[in-house]
């Protein structure tokens, strides 16, 4: 009997409901329908409850007079200000403590992280104790400690402790000199901006030069010379001046200067100390992830320990450090909402607290507050992801 080759046979087509692609589409449609139905039910239920309580919705309350005081504000504030101004005050106060906390937590965290890897037993032990103690105490409890046990136990105004540079500390906070630049100082800011642009251009040129010739240019020292040199030159040529208003003790309080309330000091200090402990562990892990052969290779080139760390180890460790460092920045920004527990007028305290209680617009106030923190998180992530893309290892 003779057989003939009819060519490759196609696999039998599955039935409609047994087709994996069809089933995947059906599952997605069902899940999407359940989510839409759930959201619709929440919206309808909320609208019915608000109607039963004779409550209105909308954002018209933002243009009403707030009628309450705010203890610390970067903007002019009075009882006659509007709720949208209260929102801006809380927003700026949150940004202030977040930026200050991120800067100092980064500096302290990198220092402690490197110190923990020190060959000096005392230095590494102190760093280890700091990390293990601070990480395992709740942040809210630490804020209570710094606010009630430390700052509130300071002497009264008339017995203020004198600090360096004409600064004072007492129960009402920290008093420091207030810088008062003249109108010509705007040229100094412009010169500083141009210097920063010049440093960016210099760094790009040095990187291309290194890739093309293999010759390293002293970018760090040159950048410092450009920044300080251009700023000092513009300051001298423009005739700008900066006066400092010194705080002076009078009968009941200080006059002049800049007063940092104890709520701000406690929150910024607590966030810095707490977050730095986690950043230190991130830095330690990142440095230890670099192959020991890199250290030996740098030592064989005659580089000193500080140069090995700055030029070889840390740049490679940053590829491991940046992703978890982003999470710590996000945590610090969101943890600033704990300032409401010690009376710091940040966004949650001012807008999602006092404003909400006075207007009864819970949905609007909470939605705006959530949108702000979401925006902060997305912007921080975008900036850190951009930096991570620049330092990550490029495979050929």
DSSP 62-105: GGSB-----SS-SS---TT-BHHHHHHHHHHHHHHHHHHHHHHH
Per residue in 48-65, pLDDT (tens digit) is 777 777 777 778 888 999
Sequence-distant (6+) residues with CB within 8 A of 60 are none
Sequence-distant (6+) residues with CB within 8 A of 290 are 313, 316, 317
Query: How far apart, in whole angstroms, are the C-alpha atoms of residue 190 and residue 194?
Result: 6
pLDDT at 296: 73
User: Which of 299-303, 310-314, 390-394 has the weakest average pLDDT?
Assistant: 390-394
Q: Please give the share of the chain, as a percent, with pLDDT higher than 70.
A: 92
Mean pLDDT for the stretch of residues 65-80: 88
pLDDT at 278: 95
Q: Please give the share of the chain, as a percent, with pLDDT higher than 90.
A: 30
Confidence of residue 3 (pLDDT cuts 50, 70, 90): low
Tokens linked to 189: 């800011």
Mean pLDDT for the stretch of residues 74-97: 91
Q: Is the pLDDT of residue 215 over 80?
A: no
Q: Is the pLDDT of residue 304 over 80?
A: no
Confidence of residue 264 (pLDDT cuts 50, 70, 90): very high
Domains in the chain, CATH or no CATH each: 83-149+262-391 (1.10.3720.10)
pLDDT at 8: 56
Q: Is the pLDDT of residue 139 over 90?
A: yes
Mean pLDDT of the chain: 85
Sequence-distant (6+) residues with CB within 8 A of 340 are 346, 348, 349, 353
Candidates 259, 252, 253; CA nearest to 72 is: 259
Candidates 77, 71, 68, 67; CA nearest to 344 is: 71
Per residue in 172-214, pLDDT (tens digit) is 888 889 888 888 888 888 988 998 998 888 888 887 887 788 7
Q: Is the pLDDT of residue 380 over 80?
A: yes
pLDDT at 396: 46
Residue 179 DSSP SS3: strand
Mean pLDDT for the stretch of residues 70-79: 88
pLDDT at 291: 78
Mean pLDDT for the stretch of residues 209-238: 83
pLDDT at 395: 46
Confidence of residue 130 (pLDDT cuts 50, 70, 90): very high
Q: What is the pTM of this model?
A: 0.80
Sequence-distant (6+) residues with CB within 8 A of 64 are 82, 83, 359
Per residue in 305-327, pLDDT (tens digit) is 767 777 777 778 888 888 889 89
Q: Is the pLDDT of residue 393 over 70?
A: no
Q: Is the pLDDT of residue 391 over 50?
A: yes
Confidence of residue 15 (pLDDT cuts 50, 70, 90): low
pLDDT at 6: 55
Q: How many CB atoms lie within 10 A of CB 191?
A: 21
> Long-range CB contacts (< 8 A, 24+ apart) of 47-50?
none
Tokens linked to 163: 């600090």
Mean pLDDT for the stretch of residues 10-34: 76
Q: Is the pLDDT of residue 394 over 60?
A: no
Q: Is the pLDDT of residue 2 over 60?
A: no
pLDDT at 146: 92
Q: Is the pLDDT of residue 351 over 80?
A: yes
224 compared with 137, residue with greater pLDDT: 137
């Amino acid at each position: 009997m003779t057989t003939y080759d009819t060519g490759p046979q196609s696999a039998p087509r599955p039935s409609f409901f047994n087709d994996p692609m069809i089933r995947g589409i059906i599952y997605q449609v069902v899940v999407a329908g359940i989510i839409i139905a759930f959201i619709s039910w929440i919206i309808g239920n909320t609208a019915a409850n608000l109607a039963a309580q004779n409550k209105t919705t909308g954002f018209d309350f933002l243009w009403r007079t707030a009628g309450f005081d705010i203890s610390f504000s970067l903007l002019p504030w009075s009882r006659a200000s509007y709720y949208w101004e209260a929102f801006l005050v809380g927003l700026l106060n949150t940004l202030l403590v977040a930026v200050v906390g991120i800067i100092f937590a980064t500096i302290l965290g990198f220092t402690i992280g490197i110190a923990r890897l020190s060959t000096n037993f005392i230095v590494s032990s102190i760093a280890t104790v700091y990390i293990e103690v601070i990480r395992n105490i709740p942040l809210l409890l630490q804020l209570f400690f710094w606010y009630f046990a430390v700052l509130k136990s300071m002497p009264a105004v008339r017995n203020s402790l004198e600090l360096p540079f004409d600064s004072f500390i007492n129960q009402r906070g920290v008093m420091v000199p207030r810088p008062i630049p003249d109108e010509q100082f705007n040229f100094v800011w412009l010169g500083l901006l141009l210097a920063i642009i010049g440093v960016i251009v210099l760094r790009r040129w040095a990187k291309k030069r290194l890739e093309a010739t293999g010759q390293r240019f002293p970018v760090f020292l040159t950048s410092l010379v450009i920044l300080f040199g251009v700023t000092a030159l513009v300051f001298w040529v423009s005739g700008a001046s900066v006066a400092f208003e010194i705080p002076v003790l009078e009968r009941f309080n200080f006059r002049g200067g800049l007063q940092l309330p104890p709520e701000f000091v406690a929150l910024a200090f607590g966030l810095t100390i707490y977050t730095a402990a986690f950043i230190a562990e991130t830095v330690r892990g990142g440095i230890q992830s670099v192959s020991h052969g890199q250290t030996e290779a740098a030592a064989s080139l005659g580089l000193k320990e500080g140069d090995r760390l700055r030029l070889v180890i840390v740049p490679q460790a940053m590829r491991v450090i940046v992703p978890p460092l982003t999470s710590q920045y996000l945590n610090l920004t969101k943890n600033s909402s704990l300032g409401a527990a010690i009376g710091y007028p940040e966004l949650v305290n001012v807008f999602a607290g006092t404003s909400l209680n006075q207007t009864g617009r819970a949905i609007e106030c909470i939605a705006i507050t959530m949108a702000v923190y979401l925006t902060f998180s997305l912007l921080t992530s975008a900036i850190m992801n951009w930096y991570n893309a620049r330092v990550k290892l490029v495979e050929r």
